[in-house]
Amino acid sequence: MFGKGLLTGMGVTIKHFFGKKETFCYPEEKLPVAEGFRGGNLAMDWRVCIACQLCAMACPNKALELKVVTDAKKKRHMEHYVHKTGRCLFCNLCVEACPVHTLKWDKDFAFSSWSKTAMTHDAVSDADRADLKELLADIASKAEAEAKAAAQAKQQADTKGGEA
Ligand code: SF4
Ligand code: SF4
């Protein structure tokens, strides 16, 4: 009886040892999550975002703190997109409100923290902000050049009008 039980047990062990692995080496490997999973931080592309702030207006718990800048041609850009995960209900209303579909969940569920106040994430990275700064400077210099050209054209037109 003892021998049969041992053999059965060993059989089960050997079958699972060589069978398909059902476990993950967490945290190095992460369990794949479902398509509609709402979790982790909010991610967005500042180049696609139109800085309308509809996401923040839709948020029932004031979990989004945004900072918008306006360029020399009056176009708005997102400079800071802070998601306070400690306040977030993961209701998805912000994602649904985004008219350009740039807002998504990064699905990185392992973001536990000891402090609620530390649970914030800026979806605009420092590298993104450096690119934005460059873009704003470029637009400002183009706008200045256009304004100068327009002023010169006006001056020439005025001079011609005066001579006639
Ligand atoms: S998921 Fe809900 S609570 Fe969280 S930031 Fe979006 S709208 Fe606000
Ligand atoms: S709703 Fe979308 S486009 Fe508008 S500010 Fe939010 S992320 Fe940007």
**Closest C-alpha to ligand 1, atom 6:** 94
Q: Is the pLDDT of residue 106 over 90?
A: yes
Indicate if ligand 1 lies below 6 Å from the C-beta of 96: no
Q: Is the pLDDT of residue 110 over 90?
A: no
Q: Is the pLDDT of residue 39 over 80?
A: yes
Query: Do residues 115 and 76 lie in contact, with contact meaning Cβ atoms separated by under 8 Å?
Result: no
Q: What band does 121 get if pLDDT is binned at 50, 70 and 90? A: very high
Q: From the alpha carbon of 103, which atom of ligand 2 is closest?
A: 7
Indicate if ligand 1 lies below 6 Å from the C-beta of 92: yes
Ligand lying closest to the C-alpha of residue 46: 2
- Per DSSP, the three-state class of 96 is helix
Residues 4-30 have pLDDT tens digits of 889 999 999 999 888 888 888 888 888
Indicate if ligand 1 lies below 6 Å from the C-beta of 56: no
| Residue ranges of domains in the chain, CATH in brackets | 36-126 (3.30.70.3270)
Indicate if ligand 1 lies below 6 Å from the C-beta of 24: no
Ligand lying closest to the C-alpha of residue 90: 1
pLDDT (0 to 100) of residue 159:
83
Q: From the alpha carbon of 90, which atom of ligand 1 is closest?
A: 1
The Cα–Cα gap between 82 and 129 comes to 13
Residues 122-146 have pLDDT tens digits of 999 999 999 999 999 999 999 999 9
Handedness of CA 58, 60, 66, 72 (dihedral sign): positive
- Tell me the average pLDDT across 79-97: 95
**Closest C-alpha to ligand 2, atom 4:** 52
pLDDT (0 to 100) of residue 12:
92
Q: Tell me the average pLDDT of the chain.
A: 92
pTM of this structure? 0.80
Handedness of CA 51, 54, 55, 60 (dihedral sign): positive
Q: From the alpha carbon of 68, which atom of ligand 2 is closest?
A: 5
Q: Is the pLDDT of residue 163 over 80?
A: no
**DSSP element (H, E) containing 70:** strand 64-70
Q: What band does 1 get if pLDDT is binned at 50, 70 and 90? A: low
